[in-house]
Amino acid sequence: MTLPESYKQMFSTVSEDGKLTLALHEKSMPTPGADEIIVRIEATPINPSDHAVMFGGATMADASSSGEGVNKVLTAPVSSLAMAAMKGRVGQDLPVGNEGAGTVVSAGESEYAQSLIGKTVAVMGGASMYAEYRCVPATQAMPLLPDCTAKDGASSFVNPLTALSFVETMRLEGHRAIVHTAAASNLGQMLNKICQADGIDIVNIVRRQEQVNILKDLGARYVLNTSSDTFNEELIDAIDETGATIAFDATGGGSLASNILIAMEAAAARTPAAFSIYGSTKHKQVYLYGGLDTSPTEFTPRSYGMAWSMGAWLLPNFLAKADLDVGERLRMRVTEELKTTFASHYTHEISLSDALDSQIVERYNAKTTGSKFLICPQLEM
Amino acid sequence: MTLPESYKQMFSTVSEDGKLTLALHEKSMPTPGADEIIVRIEATPINPSDHAVMFGGATMADASSSGEGVNKVLTAPVSSLAMAAMKGRVGQDLPVGNEGAGTVVSAGESEYAQSLIGKTVAVMGGASMYAEYRCVPATQAMPLLPDCTAKDGASSFVNPLTALSFVETMRLEGHRAIVHTAAASNLGQMLNKICQADGIDIVNIVRRQEQVNILKDLGARYVLNTSSDTFNEELIDAIDETGATIAFDATGGGSLASNILIAMEAAAARTPAAFSIYGSTKHKQVYLYGGLDTSPTEFTPRSYGMAWSMGAWLLPNFLAKADLDVGERLRMRVTEELKTTFASHYTHEISLSDALDSQIVERYNAKTTGSKFLICPQLEM
């Protein structure tokens, strides 16, 4: 197969004077090393976890696009406040796109690399998936089962591995049930399927009735709506019934994470025990893994007793700490259940150039619309 | 030796109608079981960790005492707000006093219990040390070395084991240096001696120049004063130099714990690395173990990167989780270094009845005076 001499790849750049530029750069097609492969990227999702690098803290409401096709460029202003946090990246062209899938179109001389030619694989890591091609170590690609397309495999890592790793974290840290917020998300739905398959209780927290319905339709037993007048009481009841002492919170702001710790302590206090000023002894853990709620985070440690922890949870950090065979086991499960447990649904399929259109950006940047965009880099630009 | 038929013991009671009563009750002298001993309590300190049970959330500024000698009773009002947190103890007579030391005056028939008769021992656990006598399992008592008095051994557990367990926690969780706040405390001084002996860097944070002097006199290398205009910069420098990624915070309120996480992240950012929106990957841990600062706790998780945790730290919870031999090893070190590393100094020695005097309570309840009270239950009442 003859490959083109160059290809297009998306880069995000924040300039010294506070301007974000998102554009397609021309890159030379590399020659793969012995253990490397070249993947023609056919499907790569836009996840919330891609936004931060893409948008660089810019005020996206003021974004605008110019140019057409491969020359389209998106620019947006970065406020001086936001620039303070961008110091580490000023002037650097950062690649974007955390995961995707496509066909292996070239390979180095090693036997394993050669064996992948023609196969459909999923790839994660290096944040360079918003591109027409990508050169990666052969072992970094995850071959899909024969009946899976690149679109099926585009979201094989971020959400599936996060959902599976929540359950791993729960087990590793000695808990037996989970509380999850923003629970009707793609990730949340996967987590419910995993928990049902593995016989783990999960307390789902959402904020709208339609989200309750989505999860109930999936067979979820505990689905609480924060807009209910009796939400706090329902939360204590559900935690008491399930024994959930670990929570994964996608909101990161407001009072939800704090209220979960308070509810866990209140649930523990229902079990008769000798009075202790230090509260219950079972460790209660809340992990913040997202930032959907940008309001200040409430934190009242004196209400949590003396056996609790709140901390950040990040997939790469978890996998780096976990035993190697854990990552391998989780990837295996994703491969096998890609069209069931880990099926993703996209509302829009767009080209690399479309992804730089300010009106389209506005839609995939909105966190509440329920739309999910897939970039198909082989679409005509 | 003939023991009295009964003895006095302090109890704290919160009534349904919001009144705290602290009084001495008459208790029958028990007959020790085969593996038990009776200790005549001769010295028992009043630690901040005793206050919460003793005072039951009462407004101690409005406390008053009546009666004399063994009949002295202290009462104080508990506000309706504070009563909400006291639900678990209403109507119960709670024993007080977490640790102390004295002479073994009687023992059950087992060989080990018998071997302790006449020995001076330290005792922790069960919070019943504010009493003239106490019956405990023989294995729960820690025999002191022959040259140690009950006064030397009165504070053998709470501060010494906490200081040693901070270092254990640091090692177990993979850190190499410590940040400690309210660092000129009795506990903080012990921690500095341990760290110097063990070759561990410690960043001490205090808030007054006289506290800087105390620690400098002890040979501490890093002593930072929060009232310095350049405190935050000094903190980042000290964390950068020492590589401290774990902190133990006694204040619990205000912005200090949050600022330590921010400073740890800022120190990590000084090491050149590829830009990551997730910040540094080394895990940063702040433990809250006290509540000296009662103002609201600042908490800005978005400033800490994605590799951090904030949580409560409590000695009994740590020891319960640690391997059995850890507790044994720490107790051994305390025994051997009781008159050096773990020496405590008391400014006042009082009787059990004195401890119920509202004017004396006012002095040992004040957290800033530098005074340290020792109850000597054998003093005439």
- pLDDT attached to residue A328: 92
A201 with A250, same domain: the answer is yes
pLDDT average, residue stretch A125-146: 94
**pLDDT over 80 at A370, yes or no:** no
pLDDT band of A369, cuts 50, 70, 90: low
Q: Are residues B164 and B271 in the same domain?
A: yes
pLDDT digits (tens, 9 = 90+) for B65-97: 999 999 999 999 999 888 888 888 999 999 999
Q: What b/e sequence results for B78-96 when a residue is b if at least 16 CB atoms lie within 10 Å of its CB, and e otherwise?
A: beeebbeebeebbeeebbb
In this structure, the answer to whether residues B212 and B94 fall within a common structural domain is no
Q: Determine the pLDDT at residue B273.
A: 72
Output phi, psi for A93, to 5 deg: -85, 105
Assign residue A104 the CATH number of its domain: 3.90.180.10
For residues B147-173, give the mean pLDDT.
97
Min Cα–Cα distance to chain A from B207, Å: 22
Looking at chain A, list the stretches that DSSP marks H as alpha helix, in order from N- to C-terminal side. Answer: 48-55, 80-86, 111-115, 150-153, 158-172, 186-198, 209-217, 231-242, 256-268, 315-321, 324-336, 358-365
**In terms of pLDDT, which residue wins out, B199 or A367?**
B199
A4-56 pLDDT tens trace: 999 999 999 999 999 999 999 999 999 999 999 999 999 999 998 899 899 98
Query: What are the respective helix, strand and coil percentages of chain A, to the nearest 5?
Result: 35, 25, 40
Contacts (Cβ under 8 Å, ≥6 apart) of B84: none
Determine the 3-state secondary structure of B86 from DSSP. Answer: helix
> Are B191 and B163 a contacting pair, CB within 8 Å?
yes
Residues 6+ away with beta carbon under 8 Å from B17: none
What is the spatial distance between Cα B203 and Cα A314, in angstroms, rounded to a whole number?
A: 28
Tell me, yes or no, if A153 comes closer than 8 A to chain B by beta carbon. Answer: no
pLDDT(A271) > 90: no
pLDDT at A90: 93
The arithmetic mean of pLDDT across residues B309-315, rounded, is 96
- Does one domain contain both A299 and A353? no
Please report whether residue A88 resides in a domain.
yes
Contact B20, B85 (CB under 8 A): no
Asked if residue B333 is part of any domain, the answer here is: no
Q: How far is CA A259 from CA A235, A300, B301, in A?
A: 9, 9, 16
Closest CA to A249 of A240, A241, A259, A239: A259
Question: How large is the average pLDDT for residues B202-226?
Answer: 97
pLDDT confidence tier of residue A300, bands split at 50, 70 and 90: very high
A332: in domain: no
Which residue matches tokens 């024994």? Answer: A243
Given CB atoms, is A91 within the 8 Å cutoff of chain B? no
Residue type, position B188, single letter? G
Q: Give the helix, strand, coil percentages of chain B, each rounded to 5.
A: 35, 25, 40
Q: Cβ contact (<8 Å) for B269 and A88? A: yes
Instruction: Looking at the structure, tell me whether residues B203 and B261 fall in a common domain.
Output: yes
Tell me the shortest Cα–Cα distance from A276 to chain B, in angstroms. Answer: 8
Q: For the packed helices B158-172 and B324-336, what is the interaxial angle rounded to 10 degrees?
A: 130
Based on the fold, state whether residues B312 and B368 are members of the same structural domain: no
- Could you give the number of structural domains in chain A? 2
pLDDT at B368: 60
Q: Where is the domain boundary, B319, B336, B353?
A: B319
pLDDT of residue B367: 65
Residues A261 and A292 in one domain: yes
* pLDDT score, position A21: 97
**Residues A203, A123 share a domain:** no
Yes or no, beta carbons of A317 and B302 under 8 Å apart:
no
The verdict on residue B138 lying in a domain is yes
Q: Would the pLDDT of A281 be above 80? A: yes
Chain A: nearest CA to B370, how far in angstroms? 25
B11 close to A (CB below 8 A): no
For residue B85, the model assigns a pLDDT of: 81
Residues B151 and B163 in one domain: no
Establish if B213 touches chain A: CB-CB under 8 angstroms.
no
Query: Is the confidence at residue A367, as pLDDT, over 80?
Result: no
List the CATH number of the domain containing A191: 3.40.50.720
A335 in a structural domain: no
Q: What is the mean pLDDT of residues B203-221?
A: 97
pLDDT at A368: 60
- Tokens 């557990």 belong to which residue? B157
For residue B194, give its domain range: 159-319
List all residues 6 or more positions away from B176 whose beta carbon is below 8 Å from its beta carbon.
B170, B200, B201, B242, B243, B244, B245
Averaged pLDDT for residues B272-285: 84
Is residue A164 assigned to a domain? yes
Q: Is the same domain home to A133 and A202?
A: no
Which of B319, B337, B361 corresponds to the end of one domain? B319
Please indicate whether residue A368 or residue A335 has the higher confidence score (pLDDT).
Answer: A335
Distance from CA of B216 to the nearest CA of A (A): 32
CA distance B5 to B1: 12
Is B309 close to A312, i.e. CB distance below 8 A?
Answer: yes
Residues A179, A147 contacting (CB under 8 angstroms): no
Mean pLDDT over A221-236 rounds to 97
Question: Taking a C-beta distance cutoff of 8 angstroms, is the pair B305, A256 a contact?
Answer: no
**Can you spell out the DSSP letters for B185-201?**
SHHHHHHHHHHHHHT-E
B210 and B139 assigned to the same domain: no
B187 and B220 fall within a common domain: yes
CA closest to A50 among chain B residues = B277
Average pLDDT over residues B31-42: 97
Dihedrals φ, ψ of A310, to 5°? Answer: -125, 135
- Please answer yes or no on whether B312 and A308 come within 8 Å at the CB atom: yes
- What pLDDT was estimated at residue B369? 60
A219 touches chain B (CB under 8 A): no
Closest to A312 (Cα-Cα) out of B175, B264, B309, B288: B309
Interface test with A, best of B278, B285, B321 (most A CBs within 10 A): B278
For B298-308, the pLDDT digits (tens) are 999 989 999 99
Average pLDDT in chain A: 94
Rounded CA separation A141/A104 (Å) = 9
pLDDT of residue A125: 75
Interchain proximity A304–B312, CB inside 8 Å: yes
For residue B272, what pLDDT band results from cuts at 50, 70 and 90? confident
Least Cα separation, residue B213 to chain A (angstroms) = 32
Query: Higher pLDDT residue, B176 or B48?
Result: B176
What pLDDT was estimated at residue A84? 82
Per the domain annotation, does B113 fall within a domain? Answer: yes
Closest to A268 (Cα-Cα) out of A255, A284, A285: A284
The answer to the question of residue B340 being in a domain is no
State the Cα–Cα distance between residues A37 and A29, nearest whole angstrom.
12
Sequence-separated (6 or more) residues with CB below 8 Å from residue A217: none
ipTM score of complex: 0.89
Chain A, window 34-63: residues with a beta carbon less than 8 angstroms from a chain B beta carbon: 52-53
